[in-house]
Structure 1
Amino acid sequence: MDVWVDILTPKQVLYFWPVVEKLRDKGHEVLVTARRYEQLDWLISRINLDIKVIGEFGGETLYGKLLSSTRRQLELLELFREDKPRIVLSSGSIEASRISYGLGARHILASDTVHSPVNRICVPLSELILTPRFIPIKEWLRYGAKKGMIKRYRSLDPVAWMKRISTFQESYMEIDLPENYILVRTPESKASYILGKGLEEVIKLINIITKLEEYSIVVLTRYREEANLIREKLPKGIIIIEKPILAIPLIKKASLVLSGGGTMTQEAALLGKPTIMFYPGKLPAVHRFLARLGLIKRIPPSMLHRVPYIAAQLLSEKSKSKLAAKAEKLMRTLEDPAEFIYRYVNSLLT
């Protein structure tokens, strides 16, 4: 076997999808694995990557995550009893990095989430780290990385799929949306780097922005329990999208994006949409970069009351025009991350 790619999140499906296709077109044997996960299952069913689903998401507790990861590692290991991969590619899979080390395979970490605690395990077990150049090298060095193993691309990860997104056009045509709306994205409250933070802020934020009466509010949730909680605590009339769906078409039609998630913030910024990020943790490096360019505004949880004021500024015609021009200029300078990753993996196989 030439390459094993392990996928854990919807973003990683989109990120690695063109890489896998390029490697297979080149004649390499590529195994793609994923886990059962509420946010991931729908996308696996829509993308033609021949993905083998092994194990499941561990939920919101540290115990559950550890138990699920440990069981999954054993199940994955059985796949390589007869034939081990030469290259293992992941975006922070503890199971993939641990198995690659144990089998003597070469693990490549392709990631923009330098803030994730999984890097304490994944980075020391990796041969290469492929990452956006907008992340300072020192942020990877603290996990034990060596400068020579860090290879940086001039891009942001969503660029890998933003030009290819029309493949999934049919998946969002069925949603009936109002003409003027504010799109709210909940934080990934079950992620290991947040663990339960963010939902209270979402409810508080939505209550605040209902003052912007000329706009409808559309909330893109991640989990059923999130959607149920929002229904219980907020007034009727708010549109809640609880089934997993690609965000880009919703972003394009929105007047304003309020995001607690990292990936959707990047997508909105690159599309030139007025964007306010209310991420509950320390601002990641790629978002600090976007904030410096003026493509996003960051509001800490303690200052949510200022959102209507900042929103009014961002929604002015002059501001929207500037944002669109900045985003277009940035996109012209960014390379394709999928092509960058493909070149490195292919070079190690030839």
Structure 2
Amino acid sequence: MKIWIDLTNSPHINFFKPFIEKWQNNGIELIITARDLANTISLIEQEGWSYEEVGGHAGKSTLKKLAYFPKRVWNLKSYLKRHKPTIGISQSSFYSPVVCSFLGIPSIYLNDNEHAKGNHIAFLFSTVNMLPEFLAPYSKKIFWIRNNKFQFYPGVKEAIYLNSVFEFFDISDSPTKQKKIFVRLEPWTAQYYSGDGSFVENIIQQLESEYPIVILPRSKEQAKHLNNKEFRNVEIRTSPLPLKEIFQECLFFIGAGGSMTRELAILGVPTLSIYQGELLEVDNYLIKNKLMTYHRNPSGKLVEKLIKASDSSRNEDIFKKGELAFNMINEKVKNLG
């Protein structure tokens, strides 16, 4: 069996890490393609994986995305025809199921973002769509489920890999040096995002005199923009930080985006989502289960109040579900491949 994985965004590296380790240990050949978006390429290189870079990001414009889509599909197809994979799997790569269909091989498509417009293309072309359990009612409501192509795994996607990667890493292992507030910026270029591009700056200015703050930008443009601001007690990271390092040093996490915010919340780090777009079902799931807090426009005083009231305990049930989901996905790859 030869598995093709298409990595189209930086959170996909952590998601596929335990799968890649397992498959490599079992002697399975892997073909990894990636596009140059956010920190995707640098994170792949940190892992030391062999990969082929195919394309970048088309920008926020829907028209540009539509024009770019067939170009990358064609480039992927041309590359993969020479390498002959037997199955393709991706987390929210809309390209992967289409390319697999053209190559005549099975595909597994995973996604937990019900607002992504590319889902409609991916659902149509994939062999099987695997979504988290909390999307089952939504899928029935909007008539996604019209055939047997959908399967639902337990829990949330972040728990699938966090259960493996951080199984023996305890929050009490954190260093004794002063802990920091980490701020993950909003996805300016994402098609699904419609928030104000600079609202986070107000929160930073209110907190920087009391806490050391580390800003995690998504792009060089964001880093450049914030470097021009007159912050005092603020560090702007221009290269990606390993999640474990963030976990170790993090007193409180403020996330204007998605995956990283959920990761820290699931790991037991006190987390505030300030996402400005329409909340996803996965976020509602975590908020309902008291794994994170949500406020669109918090004040510095509210953040300080949340820090004082924070609880760093983990929800072990969500990790058990992560293990079950990992095994379910891995078994599906074996059966189809």
Aligned pairs for 1:102-117 (under 5 A) are: 102-117=102-117
Within 5 A, what are the aligned runs for 1:142-291?
142=142, 144-146=144-146, 148-163=148-163, 165=165, 179-194=178-193, 197-210=195-208, 213-291=209-287
Structure 1 327/52 Cα, relative in aligned 2: closer, same or farther at 3 Å?
Answer: same
Residue 230 of structure 1 and its aligned partner are, at CA, apart by: 1.6
- Distance in 2 separating the partners of 1:42 and 1:83: 24
Deviates more, 1:136-145 or 1:40-49: 136-145
Measured against aligned partners, the alpha-carbon deviations of 1:288-325 in whole angstroms (never above 9, x if no partner) come to: 1110111211112xxx2x43343233222xx33xx333
SS of the residue 1:4 aligns to: strand
- Which residue does the alignment assign to 1:30? 30
CA displacement at 1:81 relative to structure 2: 3.6
Residue type of the alignment partner of 1:151 = Q
C-alpha change, 1:232 and 1:181, in structure 2 (3 Å) is: same
Alignment of 1:252-331 (within 5 A): 252-300=248-296, 304=297, 306-316=298-308, 319-320=309-310, 323-328=311-316, 330-331=318-319
Q: Give the Å deviation of 1:186.
A: 0.3
| 1:219 alignment partner AA | I
Which residue is equivalent to 1:172? none
Preserved contact between residue 155 and residue 334 of structure 1 (Cα < 8 Å): yes
CA contact (8 A) 2:266 2:315 kept: yes
Q: What is the alpha-carbon distance in structure 2 between the residues aligned to residue 43 and residue 334 of structure 1? A: 23
Residues 28 and 250 of structure 1, relative CA distance in 2, 3 Å threshold: closer
| 1:328–1:245 distance in 2 versus 1, CA, 3 Å | same
Q: Which residue of 2 aligns with 1:138?
A: 138
Number of residue equivalences: 330
1:70-113 CA-partner distances (Å, limit 9, x unpaired) = 32222111124466543221122232222222333222112222
Q: Distance in 2 between matches of 1:165 and 1:251?
A: 13
* Gap regions ≥5 residues in structure 1: 170-175
Letter of the 2:303 counterpart: A
Query: Which deviations, in whole Å up to 9, do the C-alpha atoms of 1:203-223 show, x marking residues without a partner?
Result: 23223334xx43122111111
Mapped partners of 1:244, 1:69: distance in 2: 27
Which residue of 1 is the match for residue 3 of structure 2? 3
3-state DSSP class of the match of 2:47? coil
Residues 183 and 218, structure 1, Cα contact 8 Å, conserved in 2: yes
Structure 1 pair 89–145 and aligned structure 2 pair: CA distance change class (3 A)? farther
CA distance in 2, matches of 1:242, 1:80: 33
Q: In structure 1, how many angstroms separate the alpha carbons of the residues matched to 2:29 and 2:271?
A: 41
Judging changes above 3 Å, is the alpha-carbon distance between structure 1 residues 50 and 336 closer, same or farther for their aligned structure 2 residues? farther
| Secondary structure of the structure 1 residue equivalent to 2:290 | coil
1:283 deviation in Å? Answer: 0.9
Distance 1:143 1:252 in 2: 43
2:94 counterpart residue number: 94
- 1-side partners of 2:266 and 2:81: how far apart? 44
Distance 1:324 1:25, change over 3 A: same
Give the secondary structure class of the aligned counterpart of 2:198: helix
Tell me the TM-score normalised to structure 2 length: 0.86
Structure 1 segments, 4+ long, off by >4 Å, are 163-166
CA shift digits 1:153-184 (9 cap, x unpaired): 22322233335547xx9xxxxxx997132111
Shift of residue 185, structure 1, vs aligned partner = 0.6
Structure 1 letter corresponding to 2:203: L
Q: TM-score, normalised by structure 1?
A: 0.83
Task: Tell me if the contact between 1:84 and 1:105 (Cα under 8 Å) persists in the aligned partners.
Answer: no
Gap runs ≥5 in structure 2: 170-174
C-alpha RMSD of the superposition: 2.8
Q: Which string of whole-angstrom CA distances, capped at 9 and with x for unpartnered residues, describes residues 113-149 of structure 1?
A: 2221211211121221222213334237637443632
- What is the rounded CA distance, in whole Å, between the counterparts of 1:105 and 1:333 in structure 2? 29
Q: Tell which deviates more after alignment, 100-109 or 57-66.
A: 57-66
Amino acid across the alignment from 1:39:
N
Change (3 A) 1:101 1:154: same
Distance 1:143 1:243 in 2: 42
Give the aligned residue type for 1:247.
Answer: L
Q: Could you tell me which amino acid in structure 2 is paired with residue 149 of structure 1?
A: K
Contact 2:162 2:319 in 1 (8 A): no
Report if the CA contact (8 A) 1:153-1:335 is conserved: no
What is the one-letter code of the residue matched to 1:71? K
Contact 1:141–1:147 (Cα < 8 Å) also in 2: no
SS of equivalent residue, structure 2 residue 199: helix
